[in-house]
Amino acid sequence: MTRQKQNNLNLQRSRDVSQKAERGLNPVFRLETILLVGWVATLVSTPLIPSEAAVEFGTHLVVVMLLLLIALVWLGQAVYRGKLEARFEPVGTALMVLVGWMAVSAVVMSPYGKPRFAINAVWSAVALVIGFRMCLQLVTTSAQCRAVAAVMISLAVGLSTYGIYQYSVSLPRERARYLSATPEEQAAIRTLAGVTAPQGSPHVIHFEKRLNSLEPWATFGLANSLAGFLVPWLVILLATVTIGWPSNQGRLRRLGVGLLVLLPIIVCLAFTKSRAGFLGTVLGGLFLLPSVVIQTQDRRLFGYVIGVLIVGSCALVAGVWLVGAVDLEVLTEAPKSLAYRMEYWRSTARMIQESPWFGCGPGNFQDYYLQHKLPRASEEIKDPHNFILEIWSTAGTPAFLALVVAMVSGCHFFFHRSRRLKQQNDLTDQLSVSSDHASCSSGVVPIYLGAVAGLLLALPVGWMIDYSLSLEFLLTCVPAAAVAGWLLLPWVKAGHLSWKVTVAASVASLVNLLFSGGILYLAVSGSLLLVTALGIGLVMGESGRMAVVGRVRGTAGFLVVLILVLACYFTAYRPVLGRADPWNGNFWKSVAHEQVANWLKTGSDDALADFDRAVAHIERLDPHSSQAQRQLGMWYLVARKREDRPRFRLLALNALRRAADLYPGNAMSHAELAWALHVAEQDLGAAKSATESLRLDRMNPHQELQLGSRRLFDEPAGGSLTSGLEEVPAGASAEQYMEALSHSK
């Protein structure tokens, strides 16, 4: 048997040499190399741009367009050749069905929500699936799989280093600057951050809580998102250090990987205090443990590795505890955090029951959630903190079923294919190592070039969306990532990455998404799909099968992607980045604000007419938003203060009544409606709304949101234009005023 393996290895080496020579002269191979560089560039640039803003502001549309163009060029060369050689698997097919139904949901539900959010969400999902499929086509060897994983691990190290710098230097500096500032300077700082509410309002309290929090977020908007990105790569790195490291490399290099690569990620993950991230990492590690036991032949080495991990983990926990990064609240607050999520999920279940087929539309969860939000719930969340419920509630039951099919087919694919290949695993493992070592330098260089290109791509994209990578980021993240990449080179050249490791990383990421949500955050869910694609590629690479598609089907695929490119350009890329967006209600809100301010100053009928036209667009593009209706009501109340026209009173009442209907569990919405009814001398309606406001307020356990801690209209939706709108006795709280109105008749 050993002689037969050696003969097969020799035969494989000779084939590799001839194939390498043929590829060097093959223009198709050179084109695919360029496409590989571009694809890796999208991977690296995505986490460097805030993923949470992709749906609302279209921050990743450049990346989406680049991925579509890569797929178009790849299909184009196949059409030109008359033959398409590709890898097909059931997971990608199910994901395509899922995204297709999301598009249907967006078309159906856009008239009832925010069309811009729905469009951006669909293109984010398209980018995820395109990136997944292109990984299977462009990453064809296990050495390339390891190189892609090494690049992403290095990026995780860089972001972790920057997160540690935030925790220890930049965030304390910003807190000190804010706390030492005068009230006027603090207001200016809040205004720069987009918070225009006065001191003591919930928005200001939330801003100051975030400022005083210890958790870093690196280039993300939330610490949980940073943790969600780190989790799968931490699991793969743990496997690399324990069972994947090449045997011909000394322990010193492995120790360097443990100290300079593994440690920063673990420390930063601990600093985020993400319970979902902790749970995902633990479960991923437990899923990985059988592979560690089976594959570690040297029992002394196995004991050494396990001992080092246990001692290192204990030392790390003690260290972060002593510096105050992790405290007892991480554990004691876990039941409360889970209770909050149960509240979110109960309201989400009502949303699904209300619209089971199409959901509320991709990207429109928040507005519909407020209509079902429990009075005792505190946050006005943008997603249900559960990726399954998010897909189900926003895109409907067919999308949920497609998601289930994708997960089930993935499990079936891995374990069914691995069982079929079990008899030749030993041979294929040796073949892959020798084959990759022979062609490693030529196969992985484009991946490292793509990593550099990704950093260069993130810089201009950031400038385009008014988000720039700071000098502090460049001086902390880039060197740390470069050192990590260098330390991982021996593993890339001669190490081992099993599909079981990628499955463990996928499990860790899924567990994190199960409790933190954010399935449309490209950097988080993109990491999940990437590790899944790498695992599928490793399994399919062992079988060596490539499906051949004829010119007709290849041309059809090319035309489909071409249509997607044109659709993305005209529905998203051009209107969003061109600043003239016919599907974005925020543009018309700024127009309405400008025109009502102009009318208040000049009394011009033209300005009032322009304001009315802008309001009509807002009603069309944002019809289900309680906040938008409240903003309209406040604008009409401001207009009424200048000229007490009956039309202004009626429109203000209608808008505030609609705002309360869309947010029925919010005490302040009913309180502001009660005040408007009182001003319109409708005391019976005012008393009814005031009574409902007080009833809801008694159900709210959060003091900063209770009426006793707030004033009417304390968060002006129109900025400084509507500040001071409340016409209540000086010092009176919203609760005191509602008590008085509730007894009026």
DSSP string, 664-693: TT-HHHHHHHHHHHHHTT-HHHHHHHHHHH
Question: Is 314's pLDDT higher than 90?
Answer: no
Q: How far apart are CA 438 and CA 353, in angstroms?
A: 57
* Pair 386, 341: CB distance under 8 Å: yes
What secondary structure letter does DSSP report for 198? P
pLDDT mean over 485-502:
91
Q: Is the model's pLDDT at 388 over the cut of 90?
A: yes
Mean pLDDT: which of 197-206, 365-374, 411-420 is highest?
365-374
Q: Please count the other Cβ atoms lying within 10 Å of the Cβ belonging to residue 355.
A: 19
120: tokens are 């951006």
96-110, 522-536, 594-608: segment of lowest average pLDDT: 594-608
pLDDT tens-digit series, residues 567-582: 999 999 988 876 678 8
**pLDDT, mean of residues 635-652:** 86
Other beta carbons less than 10 A from residue 597's beta carbon: 18
What are the residue ranges spanned by the domains of the chain? 2-165+331-577, 624-742
Whole-angstrom Cα distance, residue 121 to residue 700?
Answer: 32
Apex CA 664: angle with CA 658 and CA 665, to 5°? 150
Per-residue pLDDT, 119: 96
- According to the model, what pLDDT value does residue 522 have? 92
Rounded to whole angstroms, the Cα distance separating 370 from 381 reads 9
pLDDT at 380 over 70: yes
The 3-state DSSP class for residue 547 equals strand
pLDDT band at 629 (very low <50, low <70, confident <90, very high): very high
* Distance, CA of 711 to CA of 341 (rounded, Å): 29
Mean pLDDT lowest among 16-20, 130-134, 429-433, 670-674: 429-433
Mean pLDDT over all residues of the chain? 83
Residue 279 above 60 pLDDT? yes
* pLDDT digits 0-9 by tens, 608-623: 999 999 999 999 999 9
- Where does 355-424 have alpha helices with state H? 365-372, 387-395, 397-420
CATH topology for the 624-742 domain: 1.25.40
Position 426 scores a pLDDT of 47
3-state secondary structure of 222: coil
Query: What percent of the chain is predicted at pLDDT more than 70?
Result: 81
Q: Is 584 exposed, middle or buried (0-12, 13-18, 19+ CB in 10 A)?
A: buried
32 pLDDT more than 70: yes
Residue 317 in this model has a pLDDT that exceeds 80: no
Distances (CA, A) of 225 to 129, 310, 386, 462: 20, 27, 13, 19
pLDDT at res. 311: 57
Q: How confident is the model at residue 263 (pLDDT cuts 50, 70, 90)?
A: confident
Q: What is the pLDDT of residue 467?
A: 82
Q: What pLDDT, in 10s, does the model give residues 542-562?
A: 555 667 777 788 888 899 999
Kindly report the pTM of this predicted structure: 0.90
Is the confidence at residue 409, as pLDDT, over 90?
yes
pLDDT tens for 452-464 read: 999 999 999 888 8
Non-local (6+) Cβ contacts of 4 within 8 A are: none
Give the separation between CA 317 and CA 300, rounded to whole angstroms.
26
Q: How far is CA 515 from the centre of its chain?
A: 14
Distance CA 742, CA 691 (A): 5
pLDDT of residue 273: 86
- Residues belonging to the chain: 745
* Paired residues of 84 in beta bridges: 549
47 near 229, Cβ under 8 Å? yes
pLDDT in tens, 151-189: 999 999 999 999 999 999 998 888 888 888 888 777 777
pLDDT value at residue 438: 41
Res 210: pLDDT: 74
Pair of tokens at residue 513: 């998404």
Token pair, residue 296, equals: 């570690």
Structure tokens at 375: 């009075």
